[in-house]
Amino acid sequence: MDRRKIKTRRAVFAAFEKLLSKKRYRHITVSDILEEADIGRSTFYAHFETKDDLLNAMCAELFDHVFEGEPPREAHHDFSEGDYSLEKRLAHMCHHLYENRAEMLRLLSHEGADVYYGYFSRGLNSIFFRELAAIKKQMKVSETVPDEFLIHQLSEGIISALRFWVDESMKTPPETMADWIYAVNFKVSDV
């Protein structure tokens, strides 16, 4: 992406974030974003089809590296060393949510939550699909359980945990939340 496009996207993201600090998601219009970002309608639509598309793009910028491939080195939390296991991916996701909690709490406690949780669900589904054989073995899942069902249940369990975390205003530290999510969804008891 060329520098001009990157600059435009950053301006739109910043404008949207500023508007989210003042208004509820459903009350923000594309016209509001255009005015705040000081761009034209055609420029906005060259980058985004809808306001929901903009929100998905913001999610992707923050979290795609968590769901895809190996993580880069990061200043606040670094998961680039060693094995990037499912447990570490969940911790990485929780750290990003927590570091951006002011914005996340605004988004995830209002109408934009469905778009955001949909993004997380798709990202989690892609991880679980790639790691399905290992997950089934670790959890001792019967071969009679359809893969689609298992992936759906795991994703929805994590989305539910994230909703719990948002409802408690993310008071639980990210490491603890990640440990709880992993323990409830992926650790198998010997009992």
Domain ranges of the chain: 1-48, 50-186
Q: What architecture is the 50-186 domain classified under in CATH? A: Orthogonal Bundle (1.10)
Residue segments in the chain with a per-residue pLDDT below the cut of 50: 191
pLDDT score at 111? 66
Contact indicator for 46, 57 with CB cutoff of 8 Å: no
Name the CA dihedral angle for 119, 120, 122, 123, rounded to a multiple of 10 degrees: 120
**CATH code, 1-48:** 1.10.10
pLDDT score at 178? 94
Question: Rounded to whole angstroms, how far apart are CA atoms 91 and 66?
Answer: 10
pLDDT, tens digit (0-9, with 9 covering 90-100), for 23-42: 888 889 999 999 999 999 99
- The total number of residues shown for the chain amounts to 191
Between the CA of residue 52 and those of 112, 113, 116, 119, 145, what are the distances in Å?
8, 11, 9, 11, 34
Predicted model pTM: 0.79
